[in-house]
Structure 1
Amino acid sequence: MALPARRNRPAAAAPSDAEQADPLYNQSLEKGLAVLRSFDAAHRTMTLAEIAERTGMTRASAQRTVHTLQVLGYVGKDGQTRRFRLLARSMDIGFNYIASHPLVQAANPYLAQLASASGETASLTEPLDFDMLYVAQRMTTQFIPVLTPVGMRIPMYCTSSGRAWMSCLPDEQVRALLQGSTRVARTPATLTGIAAIQARIAACRKLGYATNDEELFLGDMGIAAPIVDRRGRPHGAVHVSPPTSRWTLEAAQKKLAPMVIECARAIASALPH
């Protein structure tokens, strides 16, 4: 895996020197994508001034970009509040990626089996920068303390899926990923030290699965296994999220870990050559 050239660039960051020197690099397209990415759960609606601040654009540049996205149907303005928001058409880009993804297509039946057998929500993630991205999920009727929908990103350093993925990488790549991550304590249980996290990754290499015990969300654990093809290339990770209200970590490791490992292997065997 090639390491990201830089941390996840916030919407407000300017193009790098390499990008500016690239004659094919389209800054107008970058601005459009920056506007779309500037909306999130904490910024569901914004004024033009707020969009300009979030993206680092001038007001005039933001106005032209937002107007273009309005014409194309990706952004709309509320008639009463006059604030901008994403429209349903913005889902097209992400949906087309998921719908055509060979890993997702291969994984879906096995995720369904895992969710049925374990009684817990089964999820598929793949690496994106210093995070893991949810690309498929099968939910159960059981209560789950945290909603983690497809499209959500979670940090590698403190999640079972991230550790499972990193367990397939050389030590120097793992260290580079951890050093590049903003390792903050999400809960009192979060491991932030590189040596401690590397120890968990090393354990995954021996056991075949990684764990997370309330390190990202309180009340939520994780058991994950990497998806590795016949050539030894990792493609992602599959995990279940047993809540602490129903499981202890020891019980989850004993019962759920073998299921997760089996699911990951089945997905890997179903990948196109």
Structure 2
Amino acid sequence: MFRNTIRAETGRSANLEEERASPLFVRSVEKAMAVLSAFHQTEGPLTLSEVASRAGLDRSAAQRMVHTMRALGYISRDANGHGYVPGVSILDHTLDFLRLNPLVRQATPVLQELRTTVRERIDLSLFDDLRMVYAVRLQTKRQTFNASIVGHSVPTFCTSGGLAILARLPEDTARDLVARSDRRPFTPNTMTEIDEIMQAVEQTRAQGYALALNQILSGEIAMGFAILDSKGAPVAAIHIAGSLAEWTPEEFRARTAPLGQQAARALSKY
């Protein structure tokens, strides 16, 4: 069975358990975030009972949280009165993250120039353990709703940007990340075996960029280029995506690889 690309898993549970033991950890804040996180995988409004179940809270606690966050604008009733949805105030925090993130600010003009040159979809994704989170998305002629949403995330193990990231990690670290991933396929061609994925990582390491075919979407070809911080650690990736109906892998590689590598070097601090 294949799955839809809605939101990839975060993989932070081990560190979270350690942090929960700290006297500085505020459980009420965790509960409030759990209520907001209840909407991550939903396809529509949630009832109060559904919010409670998804957040792991009893109904009374969920009701208090929802009431408080409705008053603050972080949750609202859906337009048809069928349940609750995230409120508009959440967008204020999205804006804060994007405008205060130095990489996003620096990358935007570089990516705009890259899109003008290659005339294909250009994305900037941020490395977050098991997932890559899109922070900039520049579309071209193929417009789809999911392909334009900032904050959408995809797994690290099978995406072009993720493979580019894995190739910059120590071998044991990369293998551990792949082993911890939910490797259910998105398409009939999605890589799911650890050794197969690590072979693709090794190839990516050798050539300096990743090439992914039919991994997240059937008929899609994508190139990935890692962006490094001042210590040489991978923190983000540039994705260039096209259609196999319009490009052969050889043509796409020849056209985009030099440009993508140049853009990634311009944004890297190492």
Counterpart of 2:224 in structure 1: which amino acid? A
Provide the rounded CA distance (Å) in 1 between the counterparts of 2:143 and 2:200.
25
Aligned residues: 258
Cα contact 1:227–1:265 (8 A) shared by 2: yes
How much does 1:78 deviate? 3.6
Q: Which residue matches 1:162?
A: 162
Task: Please give the per-residue CA displacement for 1:109-138, whole angstroms capped at 9, x wherever unaligned.
Answer: 110111011001111111113000111122
Indicate the SS of the match to 2:158.
coil
Instruction: Note if 1:192 corresponds to 2:192.
Output: yes
How much does 1:44 deviate? 2.9
C-alpha spacing 1:230/1:62, structure 2 compared with 1 (3 Å): closer
Structure 1: stretches of 5+ with no match in the other structure:
1-5, 10-14
**What do you get for the CA RMSD once the two structures are aligned?**
1.9
How much does 1:41 deviate? 5.8
Cα contact 2:124–2:134 (8 A) shared by 1: yes
How much does 1:93 deviate? 1.6
Q: Which residue matches 1:111?
A: 111
Q: Which residue matches 2:11?
A: 7
Cα contact 2:39–2:85 (8 A) shared by 1: yes
Counterpart of 1:183 in structure 2: which amino acid? R
Structure 2: stretches of 5+ with no match in the other structure:
1-9
Q: Which residue matches 1:143?
A: 142
Provide the rounded CA distance (Å) in 2 between the counterparts of 1:79 and 1:117.
42
The structure whose RCO (Cα within 8 Å, separation 6+) is larger is 2
Provide the rounded CA distance (Å) in 2 between the counterparts of 1:215 and 1:119.
21
Cα contact 1:228–1:235 (8 A) shared by 2: yes
Q: State the TM-score, normalizing by the size of structure 1.
A: 0.88
Tell me which moved more, 35-44 or 169-178.
35-44
Indicate the SS of the match to 1:66.
helix
Percentage of matched positions with identical amino acids: 31
Counterpart of 1:74 in structure 2: which amino acid? Y
Counterpart of 2:57 in structure 1: which amino acid? M
Q: Which residue matches 2:4?
A: none
Q: Which runs of 4+ in 1 moved over 4 A?
A: none
Superposition pairs for residues 173-252 of structure 1, below 5 Å? 173-229=173-229, 231-252=231-252
Q: State the TM-score, normalizing by the size of structure 2.
A: 0.89
Instruction: Note if 1:172 corresponds to 2:172.
Output: yes
Q: Which residue matches 2:131?
A: 131
Cα contact 2:126–2:236 (8 A) shared by 1: yes
Q: Which residue matches 1:91?
A: 91
Indicate the SS of the match to 2:89.
helix
Indicate the SS of the match to 1:242.
strand
Cα contact 1:144–1:243 (8 A) shared by 2: no
Provide the rounded CA distance (Å) in 2 between the counterparts of 1:41 and 1:21.
28
Indicate the SS of the match to 1:236.
strand
Q: Which residue matches 2:3?
A: none
C-alpha spacing 1:174/1:80, structure 2 compared with 1 (3 Å): closer
Provide the rounded CA distance (Å) in 1 between the counterparts of 2:150 and 2:79.
30
